[in-house]
């Protein structure tokens, strides 16, 4: 009977990191192939983007609404009520919407991808694809990661728009402010330096969500319980990636003077 | 699994709507930063831009008409501020207009305020130079305020010292306020004064009855009486509106009375 070899934990971490890097190379190598699965990409965009929209829309609207209601008393105390639209717009666009929407999508999308690919692995569908000559990375991984990279920024933009709408609704509870005045004030304070880093950041968040979900699902063990583990670890890891990437993005944008 | 027609349409609509929102946002931001529409450029030089930043507003007659496009240091004492202004405002900004750096409210962003000085001047040229006024340096203001505060501190310290000495009964004012001895002395002095004045009035009465000075006091009393009569006469004649003849008659009568 073969004796089980003990591997120290730091080596396991390094092995995991190495595997992830290799998986990333396989993803990038497969993007630029002739037989790109456009149809599957559209289907994944539908599943990830369109079907996540209601959740993201409600979240965005409520975040804007609640932020306004929370900020209003303090701003009133300082006599700075007129700064609420600017404050809410900058906070939503620079930080709150990208991170919250990415975390929500990590919960919904990354777990879904992890569970889906995990169950395909368990039922040996991935191996069946390889045997039949189809490229599982091309069909399963590339389409999902790219769909996440396309759809998360769009979901974020939608959430930001609805967040501003929520903020407008929040302000109009206490007093009447015309929509023209509100959105004029909000957009006066926003610059391309706010919008573009936020947009670029969400592309990377989308990559993290798709990549972690696919990696965890694609590399799950055999056995039904590994499907749950894959889904769970996909969410946890994707959330961690998002927060770490956000910290790096803030440093980068500050260093670049945005 | 292939994407159905419905899924493709929904995905297309969703993507299109998202892109429209993004482009709309970019357009609104660009519009606020004067990136679209006709504009012209002017520049001004300042010794100190006081924290002005690229993208800050340019205001003319209280309306935001443009933004700060760039700020460059051109020498060790001067900074050049380029502004991009809406073409609509061009006919109203004259060559003698003055630009100064202000603040939007007490805590607000810095901005450039263009003020008109006359109607007669010609319209400012595109890429033309505008006259400027340097902003008040907040550091200098704070420096002055701190010097005033220092002086006030010295003054209050000295006042406190004086008040302590007075309270302790030291010095002339302290002794005056808190010493019983001074009060008693003052009381004694007042008594002496009272006695002195009583004696003096007695002496004066005695002098009035003395035969050497009796005539003098009588004369003085008569002169006083005459003066009173003249004043009474003046009051009577002014109130009655008399003509010249009547006035002369009255004067003669008065002279007679005075002789008697």
B15–A42 C-beta distance less than 8 A:
no
ipTM: 0.80
**Residue A182 predicted with pLDDT over 70:** yes
Instruction: Tell me the C-alpha distance between A241 and A201, whole Å.
Output: 12
Looking from the CA of B22 toward its CB, the CA atoms found within 13 Å total 17
Mutate to test the interface with A, among B5, B10, B25, B27 (most CBs of A within 10 A): B25
Q: What is the DSSP letter of A36?
A: -
Q: What is the DSSP letter of B112?
A: E
pLDDT level of residue B167 (50, 70, 90 thresholds): confident
Instruction: Tell me the C-alpha distance between A231 and A220, whole Å.
Output: 9
Cβ atoms of B61 and B53 within 8 Å: the answer is no
Instruction: Tell me the C-alpha distance between A191 and B74, whole Å.
Output: 27
Instruction: Tell me the C-alpha distance between A55 and A41, whole Å.
Output: 21
- 10 Å CB burial of residue A59 (0-12, 13-18, 19+) is buried
Instruction: Tell me the C-alpha distance between A217 and A211, whole Å.
Output: 10
Instruction: Tell me the C-alpha distance between B250 and B242, whole Å.
Output: 10
Q: Which two tokens stand for residue A115?
A: 């569970």
Beta-bridge mates of residue A33: none
pLDDT digits (tens, 9 = 90+) for A86-113: 899 999 999 999 999 999 999 999 999 9
B-chain residues near A39 (CB < 8 A): 2-3
B28–A183 C-beta distance less than 8 A:
yes
Segment A10-30 mean pLDDT = 89
Cβ atoms of A177 and A217 within 8 Å: the answer is no
**What's the whole-number average pLDDT of chain B?**
85
Instruction: Tell me the C-alpha distance between B136 and B139, whole Å.
Output: 9
pLDDT of residue B108: 67
CA A256 to chain CA centroid, nearest Å: 23
pLDDT digits (tens, 9 = 90+) for A35-51: 778 888 999 999 999 99
Gap from B120 CA to chain A (nearest CA, Å): 34
Percent of residues, chain A, with pLDDT higher than 90: 55
Q: Which residue has the tokens 């777990």?
A: A111
Q: Give the C-alpha distances (Å, rounded to integers) separating B60 from B44, B98, B116.
A: 15, 10, 8
B-chain residues near A192 (CB < 8 A): 26, 29-30, 33
A158–B10 C-beta distance less than 8 A:
no
pTM confidence score: 0.67
Beta-bridge mates of residue B73: B79
Q: Give the C-alpha distances (Å, rounded to integers) separating B213 from B28, B206, B210, B220.
A: 109, 10, 6, 11
- Look at B187-196, B209-218, B222-231 and tell me which has the smallest mean pLDDT: B209-218
Gap from A246 CA to chain B (nearest CA, Å): 21
- The DSSP secondary structure of B128-183, one letter per residue, reads EE-EEEPPPPHHHHHHHHHHHHHHHHHHHHHHHHHHHHHHTT-HHHHHHHH-HHHH
pLDDT of residue A90: 93
Question: Would you mind telling me the total number of residues written for chain A in this entry?
Answer: 258
**Residue A158 predicted with pLDDT over 80:** yes
pLDDT digits (tens, 9 = 90+) for B38-62: 889 999 999 888 888 888 889 999 8
pLDDT level of residue B106 (50, 70, 90 thresholds): low
**Residue B107 predicted with pLDDT over 80:** no
B11–A50 C-beta distance less than 8 A:
yes
């Amino acid at each position: 009977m073969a004796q089980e070899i003990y591997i120290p934990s730091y080596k396991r971490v390094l092995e995991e990191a190495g595997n992830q890097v290799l998986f990333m190379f396989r993803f990038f190598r497969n993007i630029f192939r002739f037989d790109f699965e456009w149809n599957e990409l559209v289907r994944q965009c539908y599943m990830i983007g369109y079907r996540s929209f209601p959740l993201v829309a409600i979240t965005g609207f409520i975040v804007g609404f609640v932020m306004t209601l929370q900020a209003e008393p303090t701003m009133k105390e300082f006599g700075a009520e007129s700064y609420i639209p600017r404050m809410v717009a900058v906070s939503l666009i620079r930080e709150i919407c990208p991170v919250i929407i990415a975390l929500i999508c990590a919960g919904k999308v990354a777990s879904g991808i992890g569970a889906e690919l995990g169950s395909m692995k368990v039922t040996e569908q991935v191996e069946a694809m390889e045997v039949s000559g189809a490229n599982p990375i091309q069909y399963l991984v590339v389409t999902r990661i790219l769909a996440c990279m396309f759809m998360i920024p769009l979901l974020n933009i939608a959430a930001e728009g609805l967040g501003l709408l929520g903020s407008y609704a929040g302000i109009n509870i206490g007093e009447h402010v015309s929509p023209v005045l509100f959105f004029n004030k909000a957009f006066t304070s926003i610059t391309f330096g706010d919008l573009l880093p936020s947009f670029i950041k969400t592309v990377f968040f989308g990559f993290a969500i798709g990549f972690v979900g696919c990696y965890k699902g694609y590399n799950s063990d055999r056995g039904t319980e590994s499907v749950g583990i894959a889904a769970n670890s996909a969410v946890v890891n994707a959330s961690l990636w998002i927060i770490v990437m956000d910290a790096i993005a803030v440093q980068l944008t500050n260093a670049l003077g945005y | 699994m292939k994407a159905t027609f419905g899924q493709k349409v929904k995905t297309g609509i969703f993507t299109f709507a998202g892109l429209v929102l993004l482009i709309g946002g970019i357009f609104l931001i660009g519009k606020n930063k004067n990136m679209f529409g006709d504009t012209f450029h002017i520049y001004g030089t300042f010794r100190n831009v006081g924290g002005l930043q690229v993208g800050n507003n340019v205001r003319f007659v209280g309306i935001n008409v443009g933004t700060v496009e760039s700020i460059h240091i051109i020498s060790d004492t001067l900074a050049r501020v380029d502004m991009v202004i809406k073409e609509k405002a061009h006919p109203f900004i004259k060559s003698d207009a003055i630009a100064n750096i202000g603040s939007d409210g007490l805590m607000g962003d810095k901005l450039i305020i263009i003020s008109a000085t006359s109607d007669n001047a010609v319209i400012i040229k595109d890429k033309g130079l505008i006259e400027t006024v340097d902003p008040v340096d907040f550091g200098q203001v704070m420096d002055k305020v701190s010097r005033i505060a220092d002086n006030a501190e010295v003054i209050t310290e000295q006042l406190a010292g004086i008040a302590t000495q007075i309270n302790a009964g030291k010095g002339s004012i302290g002794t005056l306020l808190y010493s019983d001895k001074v009060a008693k002395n003052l009381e004694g002095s007042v008594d002496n004064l009272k006695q002195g004045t009583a004696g003096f009035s007695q002496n004066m009465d005695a002098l009035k009855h003395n035969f050497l000075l009796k005539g003098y006091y009588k004369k003085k009393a008569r002169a006083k009486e005459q003066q009173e009569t003249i004043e009474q006469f003046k009051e009577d004649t002014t109130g009655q509106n008399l003509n010249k003849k009547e006035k002369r008659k009255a004067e003669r009568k008065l002279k007679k009375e005075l002789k008697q």
